[in-house]
């Protein structure tokens, strides 16, 4: 039986049938693959009420990240916990038998409704099934928006100066090819409050503004934008509101219908710890769906009765990823998003305060409503990526650095206070030796 450190490498290694101690094709049974590693047990949920630290310490054991590694970069990608790995592997073991009850059913997605996965995701993000299209990441979904909305040369799309390339570049392509105008407003680093952000957006709107596109949580600084107020402002002026929520699912509670935006995209592989290669596109109602052209066309692209589903008709895709996504949703619901968000905020506030004690310049907002699980600071004269590589090579601590002096620190719920202390000690050591 495999232990948790060797499971993934054994599974993907050449000759993995032998690595798993399976008898070979002739005697192989799918049950040999399903749940074939020793996952540690989940802690009792009631442990949280008695000892929060012990609860999170037990959950840390659900991740393959080695105990001697400190991982502070969920802002780029998360790690699948055991329940998610189980969902992926069990799906493969079941579907790859090619024994589906319906001879026209195959273990792929991209041609059908896949409602068992859409329903789970819709419930988690506060949407309905007909508002959700399964995609492969936020970048793909953002491209659907930029390519799909009907815009004319000279029409303006208003974005912030802190968008991820997967959010900004689809609009730049549209601008270069069709003559729309991409207009940026500059976010303060850090913003002091929501009113400051809303005033900047309002002052940037012109009679040609057709779309406001911003990240719900900035990839540059981690600022949590006042998206509900932005959506309301856009609606009052007849402007389409579209938000890149790549960092949001699994980091904090999300209800896209409460936000009131027209369009929303996300990549659950970050904070929800879902498999890499899953995402979604939210379309608020029939009106916005009718305004959107498909970017990828296969059967169903011109069938409006499919509603959001027609945007997930993208051709053959990996079904086990969706099984892992559903497992990630189940796992987050089991823990409780209120608990998760509370933990995220506590850890980020702690590491941010410790960085300020060390003289760091903060890009994290002083307004608690504008921050969650990402703290961004500058640590001049330390330079990136020197510090980033030094911490990894010397202490197995992973951060995300940015030129010249920026550190973006992510604080996933399984992070321990001792991990933060290790990072701080490593930073102090670097300052003495650099």
| Residues with Cβ within 8 Å of residue 57, at least 6 apart in sequence | 416
Give the whole-angstrom CA distance, residue 208 versus residue 22.
Answer: 64
pLDDT of residue 203: 98
Q: What is the mean pLDDT of the chain?
A: 92
CATH number at residue 203: 3.40.640.10
Q: Using 50, 70 and 90 to split pLDDT, how confident is the model at 22?
A: very low
Which tokens belong to 64? 């393959």
Q: Find the mean pLDDT for residues 279-307.
A: 94
Which tokens belong to 145? 């928006």
pLDDT of residue 38: 77
Give the whole-angstrom CA distance, residue 89 versus residue 164.
Answer: 32
Dump pLDDT digits (tens) for 33-89.
Answer: 555 567 899 999 999 999 999 999 999 999 999 999 999 999 999 999 999 999 999
Buried b (16+ CB within 10 A) or exposed e, 95-122: beeeeeeeeeeebebbbebbeebbebbb
Q: Specify the pairing of strand 263-266 against strand 279-283.
A: antiparallel
For residue 93, being part of any structural domain is answered with no
194 neighbors 143 (Cβ within 8 angstroms): no
Q: Which of 186, 246, 222 lies closest to 363 in space, CA to CA?
A: 222
Q: Find the mean pLDDT for residues 283-305.
A: 93
Give the whole-angstrom CA distance, residue 4 versus residue 40.
Answer: 8
For residue 319, being part of any structural domain is answered with yes
Dump pLDDT digits (tens) for 175-191.
Answer: 999 999 999 999 999 99
For residue 155, being part of any structural domain is answered with yes
Give me the domain span that covers residue 242.
108-328
pLDDT of residue 9: 43
For residue 135, being part of any structural domain is answered with yes
Question: Token pair 């493969």 is at which residue?
Answer: 92
Question: Token pair 């319906």 is at which residue?
Answer: 102
In sequence order, what are the beta bridge partners of 368?
Answer: none
Give the whole-angstrom CA distance, residue 160 versus residue 153.
Answer: 21
Which tokens belong to 328? 């990630």
Give the whole-angstrom CA distance, residue 347 versus residue 73.
Answer: 13
Instruction: Write the burial class of residue 338 (CB in 10 Å: 0-12 exposed, 13-18 middle, 19+ buried).
Output: exposed
Give the whole-angstrom CA distance, residue 241 versus residue 264.
Answer: 9
For residue 394, being part of any structural domain is answered with no
For residue 344, being part of any structural domain is answered with no
- Give the total number of structural domains in the chain: 1
At residue 8, does pLDDT exceed 70? no
Dump pLDDT digits (tens) for 377-425.
Answer: 999 999 999 999 999 999 999 999 999 999 999 999 999 999 999 999 9
Give the whole-angstrom CA distance, residue 417 versus residue 434.
Answer: 26
At residue 6, does pLDDT exceed 50? no
Which tokens belong to 110? 């991209």
Q: Read off φ and ψ for residue 205, nearest 5 degrees.
A: -75, 135
CA angle 224, 344, 335 (to 5 degrees): 120
Dump pLDDT digits (tens) for 205-246.
Answer: 999 999 999 999 999 999 999 999 999 999 999 999 999 999
For residue 122, being part of any structural domain is answered with yes
What 3 state SS string does the chain have?
CECCCCHHHHHHCCCHHHHCCCCCCCCCCHHHHCCCECCCCCCCCCHHHHCHHHHHHHHHCCECCCCCCEECCCCCCCCCEHHHHHHHHHHHHHHCCCCCCCCCCCCEECCCCCHHHHHHHHHHHCCCHHHEEEECCHHHHHHHHHHHECCCCCCEEEEECCCCHHHHHHHHHHHHHHCCEEEEECCCCCCCCHHHHHHHHHHHCCCCEEEEEEECECCCCCCECCHHHHHHHHHHCCCEEEEECCCCECCECCCHHHHCCCEEEECCCCCCCCCCCCEEEEECCHHHHHHECCCCCCCCCCCHHHHHHHHHCCCCEEHHHHHHHHHHHHHHHHHCHHHHHHHHHHHHHHHHHHHHHCCCEECCCCCHHHCCCEEEEECCCCCCCHHHHHHHHHHCEECEEECCCEEEEECCCCCCHHHHHHHHHHHHHHHHHC
For residue 119, being part of any structural domain is answered with yes
Q: Give percent of the chain above pLDDT 70.
A: 91
Q: Give percent of the chain above pLDDT 90.
A: 89
């Amino acid at each position: 039986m495999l232990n948790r450190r060797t499971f993934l490498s054994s599974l993907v290694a050449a000759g993995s049938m032998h690595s798993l101690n399976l008898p070979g094709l002739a005697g192989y049974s799918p049950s040999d693959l399903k749940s074939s590693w020793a996952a540690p047990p989940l802690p009792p949920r009631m442990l949280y009420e008695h000892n929060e630290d012990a609860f999170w310490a037990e959950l840390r054991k659900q991740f393959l990240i080695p105990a001697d590694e400190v991982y502070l970069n969920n802002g780029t990608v998360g790690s699948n916990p055991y329940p998610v790995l189980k969902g992926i592997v069990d799906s493969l073991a079941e579907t790859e038998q090619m024994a589906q009850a319906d001879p026209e059913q195959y273990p792929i997605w991209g041609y059908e409704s896949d409602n068992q996965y859409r329903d789970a995701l819709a419930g988690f993000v506060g949407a309905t099934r007909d508002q959700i299209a399964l995609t492969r990441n936020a970048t793909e979904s953002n491209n659907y928006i930029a390519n799909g909305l009907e815009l004319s040369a000279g029409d303006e799309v208003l974005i912030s100066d802190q968008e991820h390339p997967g959010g900004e570049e689809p609009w730049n392509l549209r601008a270069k090819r069709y003559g729309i105008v991409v207009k940026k407003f500059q976010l303060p680093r850090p913003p002091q409050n929501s009113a400051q952000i809303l005033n900047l957006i309002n002052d940037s709107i012109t009679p040609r503004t057709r779309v406001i596109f911003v990240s719900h949580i900035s990839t540059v600084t981690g600022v949590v934008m006042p998206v509900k107020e932005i959506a309301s402002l856009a609606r009052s002026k007849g402007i389409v509101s579209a938000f890149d929520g790549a960092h949001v699912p699994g980091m904090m509670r999300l209800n896209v219908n409460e936000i009131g935006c027209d369009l929303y995209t996300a990549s659950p592989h970050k904070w929800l710890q879902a498999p890499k290669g899953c995402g979604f596109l939210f379309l608020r109602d029939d009106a916005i769906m009718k305004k959107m052209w498909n970017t990828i066309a296969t059967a169903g692209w011109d069938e409006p009765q499919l509603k959001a589903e027609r945007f997930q008709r993208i051709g053959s895709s990996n079904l086990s990823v969706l099984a892992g996504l559903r497992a990630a949703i189940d796992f987050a619901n089991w823990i409780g998003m209120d608990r998760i968000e509370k933990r995220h905020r506590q850890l980020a506030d702690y590491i941010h305060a410790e960085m300020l004690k060390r003289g760091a310049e903060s890009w994290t907002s002083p307004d608690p409503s504008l921050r969650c699980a990402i703290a961004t600071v500058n640590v001049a004269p330390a330079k990136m990526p020197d510090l980033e590589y030094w911490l990894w090579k010397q202490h197995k601590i992973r951060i995300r650095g940015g030129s010249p002096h920026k550190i973006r620190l992510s604080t996933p719920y399984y992070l321990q206070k001792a991990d933060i202390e290790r990072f701080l000690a490593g930073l102090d050591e670097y300052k003495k030796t650099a």
